[in-house]
A = this chain, B = another copy of it.
Amino acid sequence: MPENGDLRELRRLFHRNPEPGWCEFWTTAKIVEEIERIGVDEIHVGPDAIDSEQRLGVPDEQELSSWMERAKDELDDHAVLDEVAGGNTGVVAVIDNGEGPCVGLRVDIDALPIDESTDSDHAPAAEGFRSTNDGFMHACGHDAHITFGLGALEELSNRDFSGTFKVFFQPSEELLGGGKAMANTEHVADLDRLMGVHVGLGRQTGAVVAGLDEALALSRFDIAFEGESAHAGLAPNDGQNAVQALVTAADNMYSIPRHEDGVTRVNVGEIRSENAANVIADSATAKAEVRGGSTQLMEYMKEAVYERLEHAAGMHGCELDVTVIGESIRQDCDEEMVDVVYETAVEIDAVTSPSRRDALGASEDATYLMKAVAESGGKATYIGIGASNPSGHHTPTFDIDEDCLPIGVSVLSRTALSLLN
């Protein structure tokens, strides 16, 4: 097992600099810097690491620019930053030892729009590595995930093996925006085995779950109806009422038939149309999502929602614009990979509570990479690394027991080696 000192420093470095999805400019550059320090055979950055066309939920130009400026202020060398401009973040690092299997590890690198606690009980605050980007925070442990990726690279770079080892530093997981874009690359196409990984999730340090899955597939979208304004008193007939379109749509979205094959979900979380009371609304927007117990069920719901949206717009003379801003599928873990990880984990002393399988209990877009691997005949799993947390994920006092860092690196690197040798 590696020494924790360097891993801890790495993790704290990234913890201090959280960036949201598609804005991980500093993060990407810093990862590249670390990879270069380690020394690998190939580094693919930005548009070479992802399929730009497949990105979902990319922020607007203004937000991208603001984060880029911040990154430029922080870094002297702008070479990597220039490569990732426009929200093309992410890295793929490759150690290529020739003939042999191709094994991948996927970690995610983005942070959340949460204002980190300044409480003295909160270790990052007390020990001086609290977020320096106000309003943003690594509140889901992706700082640890980056550390796992770099740690595993370092471990593998010192070992003899036949084949190829790749680490995928995926952007924009929180938005469910980057998985599809990274899955759709040649880097994934030749993988024989893939490990995804998540820290924490309510499990204590020492716990390792070899296969986490059964997530609901999820699609999130922004909806906009554009109609025509009119004076509600003088000429209500002149309007094309976007509020009525939205009301009819929402109404009919909630009543999409349940499905014989399993769980479905639908929600309209946000509705907005701001006007005076006497104005017939010419525009109305909503944020909505659908989920399914399988990718097919999610797609059944999504298609049904689209049908309702289109006809609600048509019924009320409105134009409709729908943008998918995040999506994840369901892809369960391969039993053979679960075996390999489990058998590796039980051999590690620090792993005091190994287990085979459990439910993930959240959506995750690593599933796109897992599915791509499975479709080309490979095998994948998604591994849970326990980390005693003082507070739940996505809260301002989220933190991880840093003892999880060497455990994670060990489990991942040893599994990789066992697959490569």
Contacts and interface: CB of A to CB of B under 8 A. Distances in A.
Nearest to A288: B277
Given A269-B275, A280-B267, A258 B258 contact: yes
B291 A287 contact: no
A300 B238 CA distance: 11
Contact of A247 (B232, B251, B363): B251
A277 B269 contact: yes
Contacts of A247: 247, 250-251, 271
Contacts of A220: 277-278
Counting chain B CB atoms within 10 Å of each CB, which of A216, A258, A275, A311 scores highest? A258
A278 B273 contact: no
A236 interface: yes
5 contacts: A235-B260, A236-B259, A243-B250, A270-B277, A271-B281
Given A258-B266, A270-B274, 16 more contacts: A232-B269, A236-B258, A236-B265, A237-B300, A251-B251, A255-B255, A258-B265, A267-B280, A270-B277, A270-B281, A271-B272, A271-B273, A275-B287, A307-B315, A310-B314, A311-B314
A255 B265 CA distance: 11
A218 interface: yes
Interface of A: 216, 218, 220-221, 232-239, 241, 243-244, 246-248, 250-252, 254-255, 257-261, 263-281, 284, 287-289, 291, 300, 307-308, 310-312, 314-315, 317, 361, 363
Contact of A267 (B232, B250, B307): B232
B280 A233 contact: no
A220 B276 CA distance: 10
Contacts of A289: 232-233, 277-278
Given A269-B280, A277-B220, A236 B251 contact: no
